[in-house]
Amino acid sequence: MKATVLSFSTLLILATNLLVASAASIKVLDIDGQEVRPGINYYILPVVRGNGGGLKLYSGRTSRCPMDVVQEPNELNRGIPVKFTPASPREPIVRASADLNIRFSGASICGQSTVWRLDGGRGAGSGQLFVSTGGVLGNPGGSTISNWFKIEKLPGRNNWYKLVYCPSVCSTCKPVCGDLGIVIEKSGTRRLALNTGKPFQVFFKKA
């Protein structure tokens, strides 16, 4: 009986590892069906039309800096291109379910990095975690846990995805995981945030 239990446990672990490996092997494709690659500029655009445009930098919730990640209110505006940097520096393409940094191309007026990071505690909803900037590029581990995001493929669609925060760069850390979505403030500002109840469904367009 003991041997049977051990055998079943071993099979379960192997099956889980295979599923994770399979998900991580999926190549992320842009809207034209091309592989998304590190260091190349891409627009992150919403799948649903008539509900805002691309992503850009905008003033923080209580002060101008650091700047947050927000969605353009007009669907015709593509926002600012981003670049993806996988945790593995030798990875030639962007893969689904793999840790990566996301950063806006160009400089911020705040003089800080444009690397995305998860940030909370500053207005617009008690306990809500928002996506801000000023993160660290690379150096995966516990000290940079808030800077790592993932791209997950939406079922049934070849080029549609969602953005996720659930870093695996730190084996001892216990981050709050979830999908990124849009929080619309009374002012109309559309901020990117964690666990809003509805994932921000996107596609990638080469800039």
For 36, which DSSP code? Answer: P
Report pLDDT for 12. 42
Model pLDDT, residue 158: 80
Q: What is the pLDDT of residues 19-57, one digit of tens each?
A: 444 445 799 999 999 999 999 999 999 999 888 999 999
Predicted TM-score of the model (pTM): 0.85
Three-class DSSP category at 42: strand
Average pLDDT over the chain, rounded to an integer: 87
50-88 per-position pLDDT tens digit: 889 999 999 888 788 989 999 999 999 999 999 999 999
Residue 129 CA to residue 26 CA, distance in Å, equals: 28
SS3 content of the chain, % helix, strand, coil (to 5): 15, 30, 55
Domains and CATH numbers, the chain: 2-206 (2.80.10.50)
Compute, in degrees rounded to 10, the torsion defined by CA atoms 161, 131, 60, 30.
Answer: -30
CB atoms within 10 A of CB 48: 10
What would the two tokens of residue 195 be? Answer: 């666990």
Query: CB-hemisphere CA count at 13 Å for 201?
Result: 14
